Amino acid sequence: MELKNKRVLVTGADGFIGSHLTERLVELGAQVTALVQYNSFNHWGWIDTFDKNIKDSINVVTGDIREYDGMKKIIKGQEVVFHLAALIAIPYSYVSPMAYVKTNIEGTVNILEACREFGVEKVIHTSTSETYGTAKYVPIDENHPLQGQSPYSASKIAADKMAESYYRSYGLPVVILRPFNTYGPRQSARAVIPTIITQILAGVKEIKLGSLSPTRDFTYVKDTVEAFIKVAEADNTVGEVINAGSNYEISIGNLAKKIMNLMGVNVEIICDKQRVRPEKSEVNRLWADNTKIRNLTGWQPRYSLEKGLMETIDWIEKNHRYYKSNVYNI
């Protein structure tokens, strides 16, 4: 499938990955509709920061994926749907699990049902590596068991299974893309990499983090976006669950040290109890096997962790005003 001139909808286009994907689709010549969360201020999230020529190329619509009638109106006439809208903060899922059920599960069903009704040609549903929980074996391939170690991950497992059911029950052409930990410009302050960088930029002598021993597989946002594009373009991805990860793991503690080295500082790391997940909820190890996506689409990450971190540090240094490094936001 060629995306040029295709009528494409991106849900969650105002967010971190969604905004980067929206820009990339415009570059590819797609006719992009960007769904942003309805709000009374008419804020468009990161789309508000786009260059005028890109912004003018997008049809921005406001709505809420929890509301089916609105989704029907927006999805009617679309040919490809990239579904990224979700609640993603793991700590907040401990506080308000029902919000994750309504947004991540019910909202996803609304998208799937509208896509089925209007015969959308391809749906790319966004999963997360958190659905795997702590690795039972590494690297983690798509056959790894799913484990609901937080209300967030449980809601995403359910959403994934609903997407799978729409493929198997109705023949809806769905792809489930499962990115591992994506990072880069525009990422929320609650994520670990912006947390480390912004605290260092604030000049603190101690940076506060959660557990330091868990490992993660980090993928730069531009590589994750290309994974979305590749699985949408490929004809052999429908009905598949596909990992997108770097195939490299690093502990949070070593990640913090790497960022300090790149920024030329040496500060103490403090384990802040309020940032630590419940013991049985912590995902201790994530390491992606990306063999399947490479074989199906030819995708592979182009950014090393060092290169991606340098671009992220540079962007945050220039856009530090978007972050409140002295406030822990769950």
How many C-beta neighbours within 10 Å does residue 42 have?
A: 10
Q: Is 152 a catalytic residue?
A: yes
DSSP E strands, the chain: 7-11, 31-37, 59-63, 80-83, 122-126, 174-179, 181-183, 206-209, 215-216, 218-220, 241-244, 250-251, 268-271
Q: How confident is the model at residue 137 (pLDDT cuts 50, 70, 90)?
A: very high
Asked if residues 155 and 294 have their Cβ atoms less than 8 Å apart, the reply is no
Structure confidence by residue, pLDDT tens digits, 70-127: 999 999 999 999 999 999 999 999 999 999 999 999 999 999 999 999 999 999 999 9
Q: Which residue of the set 152, 166, 167, 323 is catalytic? A: 152
Question: What is the model's pLDDT at position 116?
Answer: 98
Side-chain-facing half-sphere of 115: CA atoms under 13 Å? 31
Residues in CB range of 67: below 8 A, 6 or more apart: 110
Give the per-residue pLDDT at 29: 98
Average pLDDT, the chain: 96
Answer yes or no: are the C-beta atoms of 210 and 272 closer than 8 Å.
Answer: yes
Question: CA-CA distances (angstroms) from residue 182 to 1, 130, 219, 224, 254?
Answer: 25, 12, 5, 7, 17
201 close to 330: Cβ distance less than 8 angstroms? no
| Mean pLDDT computed over 175-204 | 95
Return the pLDDT at 103.
Answer: 98
Question: Would you call 61 exposed, middle or buried from its count of C-beta atoms within 10 A (0-12, 13-18, 19+)?
Answer: middle
Confidence of residue 190 (pLDDT cuts 50, 70, 90): confident
**What is the pLDDT at residue 85?**
98
| Confidence tier at 270 by pLDDT (50, 70, 90) | confident
Query: Mean pLDDT, to the nearest integer, of 253-274?
Result: 93
Given a cut of 80, whether residue 325 has pLDDT beyond it is: no
Q: What is the pLDDT of residue 272?
A: 83
Rounded-to-integer distance, Cα 34 and Cα 18, Å: 9
Residue 55 has pLDDT above 90, yes or no: yes
Q: Domain spanning 7-183+218-244: which superfamily?
A: NAD(P)-binding Rossmann-like Domain (3.40.50.720)
* pTM for the full predicted model: 0.96
pLDDT tens for residues 6-48? 999 999 999 999 999 999 999 999 999 999 999 999 999 999 9
* Residues 138-171: tens digit of each pLDDT: 999 999 999 999 999 999 999 999 999 999 999 9
pLDDT at 182: 98
Evaluate if residue 64 carries a pLDDT over 90: yes
**Beta carbons of 187 and 265 less than 8 angstroms apart:** no
Token pair recorded at residue 286: 């994530």
**CA 45/CA 37 separation, integer angstroms:** 9
How far is residue 139's CA from residue 289's CA, in Å, rounded to a whole number?
5
The answer to whether residue 175 scores a pLDDT higher than 80 is yes
